[in-house]
Amino acid sequence: MVYFLEVLRSKLSLNLWYFIFMEKKKKNPVTSIQVAKLANVSQSAVSRTFTAGASVAPATKARVLAAAKALGYRPNVIARSLISGQSKTVGLVVAYLENHFYPLMIQQLSHALQADGYHVLLFMAESGQQDAVIEQILQYQIDGVVLASVTLSSHIAEECANIGVPVVLFNRYVPDEVQASTVTSNNEAGGRLVAQRLVQAGHKRISFVAGNVNSSTNQDRERGFIASLNAEGIELWSTAIGKYRFLAAAEATREILAKKPYPDAIFVANDHMAFAVMDVIRDEYKLRIPEDIAVVGFDNVPESNWGAYSLTTVEQPLTEMVAATAEILLQQMKDKKVTPTHKVFDTQLIVRKSAEI
């Protein structure tokens, strides 16, 4: 009682009394105790029935659900999150959904987390806003964070680690000292592979359309590609920046084609830009793909298999990458311990009609 009275005087209590007061005013405050009584089971059985992944006998579960329905009971995830310290939400920060790689990633990640009772709280953040957005996310007391197509600063990563919130960077990485896990494919090896195969197929004038030049994906693809070209004794023919955006990639293609002789092959840093590159080559310059210019992308999004593009591309194993992301998060959220983990997946070349290499 002394402790209770002390709490009454604490700073927290005012808000909490107000909450209790409001809760009591609510029309329908059915509790798990009432459900347990009606179903003739323990309160713990009620709790387990409404906890994804918890063990409960099917017959018990059925009785609890029937009683809950009859009484209009609904477990309160938010109140439970205050008690358990788990909100059952994962914050997902993404810069844009224009490139179909990311909607697919969100769809698969949501399904993987839902199976474990977690949901995705979505935050759109342009590059440069991500720290402010993560500050917002932490206000929601989410259990984990995934950053897709955006990076983060070391001090925000440290803050997350300090409060036990695991962070996974998907398709990006950060310097080693930053407290975050990463899931990527081997972008540098992918870039090397494209260069080797283009050279082996006899291409001589090889150009590159870059994505976002600050992103680790673009830097790695470009580094591997150019290193491998140079090792074969070939200098890059020309290059322009497409920023991972459709219209910017079309403009980059016009820059490259402003100079003759044209390249005989273009490696584009992702598929989404490669479609724009192909449109400009065929529609504006009336050139044939692959006879006049071969085009190679990166990602293997579903559209690269559409008949009108049939894009040769480096596949990133999206499904495996998402599964690894979910696994790292779920493990670290369970352990409440942040251990930076790095997963790198192999890539492979998918040869279609845009470059027969």
| Nearer Cβ to a copy of itself (93/265) | 93
| Nearer Cβ to a copy of itself (13/186) | 13
Query: Contacts with a copy of itself in 270-299 (CB under 8 A)?
Result: 275-276, 278-280, 282-283
| Nearer Cβ to a copy of itself (2/22) | 22
Out of 62, 70, 85, 319, the residue judged to bind a copy of itself by CB under 8 A: 85
Q: Residue 59: in which H helix or E strand, if any?
A: helix 58-71
**Interacting residues of 141 by C-beta distance below 8 A, sequence separation 6+:** 81, 87
10 Å Cβ neighbour count for 334? 11
The nearest distance, CB 220 to a copy of itself, in angstroms, is: 26
- Distance in angstroms (rounded) separating the CA atoms of residues 55 and 271: 44
Q: Which stretch binds a copy of itself (CB under 8 A): 170-178, 208-216, 259-267, 300-308?
A: 300-308
Tell me the two tokens of residue 91. Answer: 């914050």
| Nearer Cβ to a copy of itself (23/356) | 23
Q: Measuring CA to CA, how many Å separate 137 from each of 15, 114, 140? A: 22, 19, 5
Taking the C-alpha atoms of 247, 250, 255 and 260 in order, what is their torsion angle to the nearest 10 degrees? -170
- Distance in angstroms (rounded) separating the CA atoms of residues 322 and 141: 23
Q: Measuring CA to CA, how many Å separate 176 from each of 161, 179, 324, 341? A: 14, 8, 19, 10
Query: Contacts with a copy of itself in 222-251 (CB under 8 A)?
Result: 246
The nearest distance, CB 199 to a copy of itself, in angstroms, is: 28
The nearest distance, CB 292 to a copy of itself, in angstroms, is: 16
Site string for a copy of itself, 139-168 (x = CB under 8 A): xxx---------------------------
23 binds a copy of itself, rule: CB under 8 A:
yes
96 binds a copy of itself, rule: CB under 8 A:
yes
| Nearer Cβ to a copy of itself (29/128) | 29
| Nearer Cβ to a copy of itself (43/238) | 43
Mapped onto helix, strand or coil, the DSSP state of residue 191 is helix
Tell me the two tokens of residue 304. Answer: 């690269």
């997963």: which residue's tokens? 343
The nearest distance, CB 348 to a copy of itself, in angstroms, is: 23
303 binds a copy of itself, rule: CB under 8 A:
yes
The neighbouring-strand residues paired with 296 are 267, 312
170 binds a copy of itself, rule: CB under 8 A:
no
| Nearer Cβ to a copy of itself (28/202) | 28
The nearest distance, CB 322 to a copy of itself, in angstroms, is: 13
**What single string gives the DSSP state of each residue in 79-111?**
HHHHHHS---EEEEEES-SSSTHHHHHHHHHHH
51 binds a copy of itself, rule: CB under 8 A:
no
